[in-house]
């Protein structure tokens, strides 16, 4: 079965994990510090706090930024559930802003309209979570300007964009957002099995998420109310156990060394899809803005099924019978029953996202996808869509 994404584990990756398993520390040892340092160097962040998964990373970010009941947080509906759920965890209200039809990330013009709309009702937006969807960075300059102009917090859910460049800079994420979150789930660019991290250049915010990662405990002498001895710790807030293990971090460090080659392979696969599907009037391939390097966590192809003799469902089923497991990224979050039941979102405000969902399929893209298999995907796709 050819699926839309798949991890790549090398002998060196396995050896790195085995090495830790033979040592004294399975968790809270030196491999965690090493992975955090490796991430700092690669992504140019002053502080990195690893956690148990990308959802935990988002949860702690909302906690550390003080989100609470009554706050309004904006994000894109074209994302994984976790981006919006982390707003709900905090008791704040999630609201969705439509995507830009060219790069499928949150549209800054519509963000500003939304902020002004709330202002006119005497309400203030607290934060924006931008999602670098599929590996195409948001318009971070515009989002940063809005955050400064309206005094908002800015978060980058960067799970798709490891190895992407914005304004020719691979270390862009933490330069624009107050917090950046990543996930190392096996379908993402690099994996630790389950895992995630929180990046920031603000030492206070970093301290906060570190304390929350481990039950809310601190031993930092500057924060203690008393200090009764070397065993002593205090708890000022209720935190969680969101730690990652040492053997996972050993895998992470080993995988990070391979990230550049992973991204290059994904880009080569994307170039072929671009070439095959650009000239047709039923397809729309993902476009890449100037000074951007797309890292292709996904290859979202839009297909105008009305112009073909087949529905999306039939197409999916036929591809599956041919051993090709496509996916759709994403069902717009505001259409989920939970969100429909608890909030009142207006489809007219989110039409671009809804149309995108109707047309989008994610083609297989991962480092070990062979040329022959990619060719096979193309042949089956064109066959079922009646293009050949």
Ligand X SMILES: *Cc1c(COP(=O)(O)O)cnc(C)c1O
Question: Which residues form the interface with ligand X (CB under 6 A)?
Answer: 53-55, 79-80, 82-83, 131, 157, 159-160, 183, 185, 196
The minimum distance between CB 354 and ligand X, in angstroms, equals 19
The minimum distance between CB 318 and ligand X, in angstroms, equals 27
User: Nearer to ligand X by C-beta: 108 or 196?
Assistant: 196
The structure tokens listed for 332 are: 């717009």
Residue with tokens 């966590």: 297
CA distance 365 to 61: 30
Query: Is 256 within 8 Å of 38 (Cβ atoms)?
Result: yes
Is 128 exposed, middle or buried, given 0-12, 13-18 or 19+ CB atoms closer than 10 A?
A: buried
The minimum distance between CB 157 and ligand X, in angstroms, equals 5
Residue 63 vs residues 218, 272, 294, 300, 362: alpha-carbon distances, Å: 16, 43, 31, 32, 33
CA distance 216 to 213: 7
User: Nearer to ligand X by C-beta: 105 or 183?
Assistant: 183
Is 211 exposed, middle or buried, given 0-12, 13-18 or 19+ CB atoms closer than 10 A?
A: buried
Q: How far is CA 137 from the centre of its chain?
A: 10
CA distance 26 to 244: 10
The minimum distance between CB 79 and ligand X, in angstroms, equals 5
**Cis peptide bond prior to 97, omega within 30° of 0:** no
The minimum distance between CB 322 and ligand X, in angstroms, equals 27
Q: How far is CA 73 from the centre of its chain?
A: 17
User: Nearer to ligand X by C-beta: 56 or 380?
Assistant: 56
Query: Is 319 within 8 Å of 381 (Cβ atoms)?
Result: yes
Q: Name the closest residue to ligand X (Cβ).
A: 54
DSSP codes of every residue in 85-117: HHHHHTTPEEEE-PBPTTT-SB-HHHHHHHHHH
The minimum distance between CB 83 and ligand X, in angstroms, equals 5
User: Nearer to ligand X by C-beta: 9 or 81?
Assistant: 81
User: Nearer to ligand X by C-beta: 131 or 205?
Assistant: 131
Residue 319: φ, ψ to 5°: -65, -40
User: Nearer to ligand X by C-beta: 95 or 157?
Assistant: 157
User: Nearer to ligand X by C-beta: 184 or 316?
Assistant: 184
The minimum distance between CB 52 and ligand X, in angstroms, equals 8
Query: Virtual CA dihedral for 352, 355, 356, 361, nearest 10 degrees?
Result: 180
User: Nearer to ligand X by C-beta: 134 or 352?
Assistant: 134
The minimum distance between CB 55 and ligand X, in angstroms, equals 3
């Amino acid at each position: 079965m050819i699926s839309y994404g798949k991890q790549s584990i090398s002998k060196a990756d396995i050896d790195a994990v085995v090495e830790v398993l033979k040592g004294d520390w399975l968790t809270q040892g030196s491999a965690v510090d090493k992975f955090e340092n490796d991430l700092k160097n690669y992504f140019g962040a002053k502080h990195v706090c690893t956690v148990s998964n990308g959802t935990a990373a988002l949860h702690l970010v909302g906690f550390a930024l003080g989100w609470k009941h009554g706050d309004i947080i904006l994000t894109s509906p074209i994302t994984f559930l976790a981006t919006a759920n982390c707003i709900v965890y905090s008791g704040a209200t999630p609201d969705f802003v439509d995507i830009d039809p060219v790069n499928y990330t949150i549209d800054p013009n519509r963000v500003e309209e939304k902020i002004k709309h709330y202002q006119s009702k005497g309400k203030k937006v607290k934060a924006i979570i931008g999602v670098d969807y599929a590996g195409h960075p948001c318009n971070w300059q515009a989002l940063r300007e809005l955050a400064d102009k309206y005094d908002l917090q800015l978060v980058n859910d960067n799970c798709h964009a490891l190895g992407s460049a914005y304004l020719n800079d691979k270390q862009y994420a933490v330069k624009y957002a107050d917090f950046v979150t990543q996930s190392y789930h096996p379908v993402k660019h690099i994996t630790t099995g389950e895992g995630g991290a929180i990046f920031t250049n603000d030492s206070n915010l970093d301290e906060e998420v570190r304390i929350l990662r481990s039950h809310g405990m601190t031993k930092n002498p500057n924060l203690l109310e008393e200090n009764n001895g070397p065993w002593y710790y205090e708890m000022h807030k209720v935190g969680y156990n969101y730690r990652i293990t040492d053997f996972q971090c050993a895998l992470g460090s080993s995988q990070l060394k391979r990230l550049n080659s992973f991204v290059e392979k994904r880009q080569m696969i994307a170039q072929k899809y671009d070439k095959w599907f650009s000239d047709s009037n039923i397809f729309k391939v993902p476009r890449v803005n100037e000074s951007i390097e797309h890292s292709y966590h996904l290859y979202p192809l839009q297909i105008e099924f009305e112009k073909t003799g087949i529905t999306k469902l039939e197409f999916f089923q036929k591809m599956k019978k041919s051993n090709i497991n496509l996916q759709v990224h994403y069902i717009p979050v505001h259409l989920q029953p939970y969100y429909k039941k608890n909030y009142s979102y207006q489809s007219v405000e989110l039409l671009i996202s809804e149309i995108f969902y109707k047309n989008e399929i994610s083609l297989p893209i991962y480092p070990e996808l062979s040329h022959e298999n990619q060719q096979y995907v193309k042949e089956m796709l064109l066959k079922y869509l009646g293009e050949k």
